[in-house]
Structure 1
Amino acid sequence: MATVPQTTEELRAGPARFAEAVYEKQNLDYVDETFAEDWVGHMDGEEMTRAEYREMHADLLEGFPDVEMTFEAVVVEDDTVAGHWVMTGTHTGEFVGLKPTDRTLEIGGTFVNRLDEDGLVVESWQTIDRFGMLQQLGVAPEDFGPRALFKVLLNLLGSAR
């Protein structure tokens, strides 16, 4: 069971502890230990449950077993922890229907976590550079103009077979 963070520094270190437990140690139980059962996630505008969030991390580990996450400028204010992260990994396993490309990617994102009095995350907002991920995996074109949408659709259809 995760220990309840008490100080600002412990709260600031929370995201790195999460990355170490989930990605380095591949301990998906850590999601259940640090996120409240009724947690609500807002991922790029879509709501997500804790079970779906755990599954998202399982999918990520399947597709990118060497995934590493670093955090920059983690800020703590009252019951809120926010920051920017950078993820790197090599696409050596199937990921959301995409066959392995053996490409290494680096994408970024932001997060805002609201914690309860026990230190559990009860609500999160997160943005992920999904389009950048698709570009680096070769599914979306590097230069995206009006004609490129058709190419993206063809690539997505082709990679899902």
Structure 2
Amino acid sequence: MSGLETEKELAEEFVLAAFEKDDRRTIRRMLTSDALVYTPNVPGPGLDVDEFESQILDAFHGAFPDLSIAVESLVSEGATVVCRFTMTGTHEGVFRGIEPSGETVLVTGVVELRLTGSGIADVWQTTDSLALLEQIAAYDHENVRGERGS
């Protein structure tokens, strides 16, 4: 197996452990001790592993307990691996202040990992938040566009 295949497998394992299995032990094993997670969904500097778990994973797994991930593509170049995925789940818990809707959501996302000899050092993670909000709440993007143009 080539190094690129191994790096892609590592990235897929991380994405599945974090977003589908909620396997915190595996996540902590894969991340370096000083790893940071960057996401536009949480303002401020990068999150350490504790903050990633409490602010991102707890939010998703608490609201969508049946999360399922389909890895759509993996691209590896040097020490960087990018994973594009589709996430599905049922909105059964409060998510970012939005009460459970019972809706099944389908959301795309991307995770970029920077690998080092001791593990994953940096994670850049994003999901299509607008699509997610449109599926669980009465979010009308046409009105938002109209307000901006006014």
TM-score under structure 1 length normalisation: 0.77
| Secondary structure at the counterpart of residue 48 of structure 1 | coil
Give the equivalent residue in structure 1 for 2:12. Answer: 16
Query: RMSD over aligned Cα, in angstroms?
Result: 2.2
Distance apart, 1:10 and its partner CA:
2.2
- Paired residues, number: 142
Give the equivalent residue in structure 2 for 1:54. Answer: 53
Distance apart, 1:23 and its partner CA:
4.5
- What are the within-5 Å matches in structure 2 for residues 1-161 of structure 1? 7-44=3-40, 46=44, 47-55=46-54, 56-118=56-118, 120-143=119-142, 144-147=144-147
Distance apart, 1:7 and its partner CA:
2.8
| Secondary structure at the counterpart of residue 111 of structure 1 | strand
> Identity rate of aligned residues, in percent?
24
Give distance in 2, aligned partners of 1:25 and 1:127. Answer: 18
Give distance in 1, aligned partners of 2:49 and 2:92. Answer: 26
Give distance in 1, aligned partners of 2:58 and 2:92. Answer: 14
Given that 2:98 and 2:137 are in contact with CA atoms closer than 8 Å, whether structure 1 keeps it comes out as no
Runs (5+) with no aligned partner, structure 2: none
Q: Which runs of 4+ in 1 moved over 6 A?
A: none
Give distance in 1, aligned partners of 2:120 and 2:92. Answer: 31
Give distance in 2, aligned partners of 1:41 and 1:18. Answer: 13
Give distance in 2, aligned partners of 1:147 and 1:77. Answer: 42
Runs (5+) with no aligned partner, structure 1: 1-5, 149-161
